[in-house]
Amino acid sequence: MMKINLLTFLASVGVALATFSCGQSGSGPADSPTTGSIKISVDESFAPIIDAQIQTFQSIYKYAKVQAVYKPEVQVVQDLLTDTVRFAIMARQLNAEEKAEFAKLKITPRVNKIAVDGIALILNKENTDTTLTMQQIRSIFTGKTTSWKQLDPTAADGKITIVFDNSNSSTARFILDSINQKQPLPPNTYASTSNSNLVDYVAQNRNAIGVIGVNWISDRHDSTAISFLNRVNVVGISVKENPTSEDDFVQPYQGYLAQGTYPLRREVFIISKEARAGLGTGFASFITGDKGQRIILKSGLVPASMPVRIVGFRE
């Protein structure tokens, strides 16, 4: 028999274990709720708030590394289904078809609601008609109204241009589902390549109406949100067919989202298929816990498990 050098054997075992551990850092048992690394897939409309969550989480847990990849909603769901990631954040729960796919794999994803968000409509600063009814919004997004003059005879004539951040985004899907009732978007609809480019386009084109997640304009302490708000107008929306005063129109402020009076509301969810208490579980617990919910509150969205104080003022 050939003799094996003990030191050589132990060294080779150590290398093998180290290699195994590194290879499992993204998807295996090499992490814990507060250590290790994980890649998560996130709806790109929530980039500002999730960046803030990751920064705070990693400042508390020095040995945790959360890498967020921001994508359109369609691609986020695809990442979950193809096992590219085990943790995602998106603006809807899984549908029946997606649940059936996981059932085939004997996987039951855990779902946690983390916030209430909204969809904001933004206009060029030169467009002074900054209030719309839900009836008018449906007319625009179904293609029945194609000119600003159709809404206001005194307005400068101009063909309406509808702009989304991405054709596969959650904002486009929300409009199709909630406003259009599955009717297709009209030919005057275009997709930008990012939320920043969307704001740029609206800021430079008088006839544009942009569709953006409230998360991008709600945090009055964030320089990006302030910059966006300085360049565009945010539409006030009324659910009344014939509003009689300015009080009938509401913008996507935190209080109106919390009360449910702003009509273009949506919920934000964590969807995790982590089979054990790994880093994904720890990050989810952080977001749904006190510190994470306070970050959501500060951002201008509505936290899922923390009441929003609504203060009224009398003149």
- pLDDT score recorded for residue 268: 98
Say yes or no to pLDDT of 311 above 60: no
Whether 28-116+267-303 and 117-265 share one fold: the answer is yes
Averaged pLDDT for residues 43-57: 96
pLDDT in tens, 214-240: 999 998 888 889 999 999 999 999 999
pLDDT in tens, 183-197: 999 999 999 989 999
pLDDT in tens, 115-166: 999 999 999 999 988 999 999 999 999 999 999 999 988 887 799 999 999 9
- pLDDT score recorded for residue 309: 57
Phi then psi for residue 186, to 5 deg, are -75, 170
Mean pLDDT across the chain, nearest whole number? 88
Q: Is 11 left (phi over 0), alpha (psi -120 to 50) or beta?
A: alpha
pTM metric for this prediction: 0.85
| Domain layout of the chain by residue ranges | 28-116+267-303, 117-265
Which residues, in sequence order, are CB contacts of 61 under 8 Å at separation 6+?
34, 35, 282
- pLDDT score recorded for residue 308: 58
- pLDDT score recorded for residue 219: 87
Cα gap 61→36, rounded to integer Å: 10
CB atoms within 10 A of CB 165: 26
Among 21-25, 26-30, 107-111, 207-211, where is mean pLDDT lowest?
21-25
Looking at domain 28-116+267-303, does it have CATH number 3.40.190.10? yes
Say yes or no to pLDDT of 310 above 70: no
Beta bridge partners, 116, equal: 267, 302
Say yes or no to pLDDT of 270 above 60: yes
- pLDDT score recorded for residue 3: 43
Q: Show the CA angle centred on residue 226, arms to residues 221 and 228, nearest 5°.
A: 145
Token pair of 53, please? Answer: 């969550």
Please name the fold of domain 117-265. Answer: D-Maltodextrin-Binding Protein; domain 2 (3.40.190)
Token pair of 162, please? Answer: 């509808």
Exposed e or buried b per residue across 194-233, where buried means at least 16 C-beta atoms within 10 angstroms of its C-beta: ebeebbbbbbebebbbbbbbbbbbbbeebeebeebbeebb
